[in-house]
Structure 1
């Protein structure tokens, strides 16, 4: 360990077993094997992934073929402690320098893809924003990385379970006659991905596209009969399909968050994927219309308030209005208003006022609005209001998170929800259904 003139803390690796003289490893050690640099001035931890396996031909050389540097935002104090600092690394990182700092083994497929597809030498983690290649640097947000990491962990678990089922069934059937046992049929599991992996592990070729179409047609044609005779199996099939659909929605949603789409794109997305929008309400909700002109008078849009979405409670028919902004919309101001207190960005305050005004106009001109959209099934007894904007991952300090919660929990009549909170709700529901299906 040493501290530079600018206060940066540098850590160097000294192996327990000194490499033999004249070897490449000995030369690398003599030159100094820097593992990390923690900089209070820049507020970041820079990791230099190194092969620390003493038996490796690349001992003390860079751990990866192209990626030599990983940059992570970090709060670094002058008395920064190595053990504590490394322990605070996000999930998906190797935290013990004895095993070579960098990404955990299950995440190295990300490294492989970046190295195979780019000439990047640096991976930079950022609090929020789109994934991008900038010169020789690959930038990725913590949210995008964590989503990938969680997906890889689930894939690995399902693959491990599938392989174990194949092994157990193979051993059982091979020794069944000797042990006086009945032969066992291979269990494919209940999740569609688990079934596919189990079949591959067993040497079975998955269905081709034509076979898949035939299977879908047969299932659709016999759905009522199956539900009548085998209700439990139909329920399991339905859960499996729901999990698959949720998986696809989560993947599309997570990718879209980092793709920098404009407001119009997100309006179309939520209209096509109403289910994601319905998670806001915590109750049975029905989509009524999008881009709703609210106000008095004829069908002309002039002078009307345009609501992004109008929904209603499925039981009481009470109306709800949703106003959306972009995921990139900033939530809190960069500078503190007072010590530990941050104000909301003006666009957030304006969106809150906008949806409240829409609700007021909806109540005053309910009949005209109903006539305009051709749907009179809803009522505006007490319209609920929602604003979807920004990302919580933007809030990089506890004071900003506190200020945000203080604001949104005390804004009367409007619920402010971020895009990444909707994503987490989708993941939570997916995990619940997957666990239910697996049992």
Structure 2
């Protein structure tokens, strides 16, 4: 405690002193380790750039102090929530003038934001793939990020409605056919039906039908028939659906069906069997969840390369 005669003197026990010494030494060690990691990575990256090999990120470790020291050593500065909001508000207020005076910088900023957003989406997708989620969670995910379905569809689409009724109701009121997503080509208005299952859904049977030949699972064949029935009902009742919904800019020239289901199989025989079956499914396009993830990753790589500064050539 404080000295009775001298207020500037404070006494602590040997136990408290030893505890403080150890804590400060630990912080010092964490700082040295973080700085050393940043130095080693920086040296590697300087040489890597010359050799054309991938660069590395410093290993920040798990301890929050070490992460902080590593960030400081790299010259990174964390913004507070208030600072972030200030930046966003300032950008929103001056976006028009920036676009007029410095369009290149605004385009670069937009590209950076899109890339960061895409990488965050990829991370979220990867985390969801690691969990056993119900169909509804995946339907919500694609509802929030419909552009992923654009990649699966292959040409410009806009979502008409999710959980859309495509007909089939009986006089008893039963039998209503509900598709997960009804979309249309933004140029021709031709419609498409999307059915979303789960990554855990089996797409092939476990045992081979013949040596090296695997048959589609009941879930896969059933999902295909489900999509085809929805297509049939939709085409048969398109006029009534238009009238009931007041959606007159949808057409059923050649309704496309897309099924998102399961994961790409392992093993050469299983891959062969899946591709043989999928490529002969002319009316229903089958895409696996991990294939969509890979498309997102490829898009991220493309945007990163496209946004990288071009090296001057002699």
Q: Which residue of 1 aligns with 2:91?
A: 219
**Residues in 1 aligned to 2:140 and 2:239: alpha-carbon distance in whole angstroms:** 27
* Equivalent residues of 1:163, 1:198 under 8 A apart: no
Q: Which residue of 2 aligns with 1:323?
A: 195
Q: Which residue of 2 aligns with 1:253?
A: 125
**Residues in 2 aligned to 1:402 and 1:163: alpha-carbon distance in whole angstroms:** 41
**Cα deviations by residue, 1:240-298 (Å, 9 ceiling, x for unpaired):** 01101101110111100111001111111111111222211121111111111111679
Over aligned residue pairs, what C-alpha RMSD do you find? 2.5
**Residues in 1 aligned to 2:118 and 2:109: alpha-carbon distance in whole angstroms:** 14
Q: Which residue of 1 aligns with 2:32?
A: none
**Residues in 2 aligned to 1:278 and 1:233: alpha-carbon distance in whole angstroms:** 28
Q: Secondary structure at the match of 2:153?
A: coil
**Residues in 2 aligned to 1:272 and 1:278: alpha-carbon distance in whole angstroms:** 13
1:414 aligned onto 2:288: no
Give 5+ residue unaligned stretches, structure 2: 1-37, 47-68, 310-314
Richer in helix (by share): 2
1:313 aligned onto 2:185: yes
Q: CA deviation at 1:161?
A: 9.7
CA separation of 1:301 and 1:220: change in aligned 2, threshold 3 A: farther
**Residues in 1 aligned to 2:223 and 2:293: alpha-carbon distance in whole angstroms:** 21
CA separation of 1:397 and 1:242: change in aligned 2, threshold 3 A: same
Equivalence map 1:419-438=2 (5 Å): 419-438=289-308
* Equivalent residues of 2:169, 2:177 under 8 A apart: no
Q: CA deviation at 1:160?
A: 4.8
Q: Secondary structure at the match of 2:147?
A: helix
**Residues in 2 aligned to 1:384 and 1:251: alpha-carbon distance in whole angstroms:** 30
Q: CA deviation at 1:206?
A: 2.7
Give 5+ residue unaligned stretches, structure 1: 1-155, 165-196
CA separation of 1:162 and 1:208: change in aligned 2, threshold 3 A: farther
* Equivalent residues of 1:331, 1:345 under 8 A apart: yes
**Residues in 2 aligned to 1:216 and 1:346: alpha-carbon distance in whole angstroms:** 51
Equivalence map 1:288-299=2 (5 Å): 288-295=160-167
> Larger relative contact order (C-alpha < 8 A, sep ≥ 6)?
2
| TM-score normalised according to structure 2 size | 0.73
* Count of matched residue positions in the alignment of Structure 1 and Structure 2: 247
* Equivalent residues of 1:276, 1:422 under 8 A apart: yes
Q: CA deviation at 1:374?
A: 4.3
Of 67, 75, 78, which aligns to 1:206? 78
Q: Secondary structure at the match of 1:214?
A: helix
Q: Which residue of 2 aligns with 1:286?
A: 158
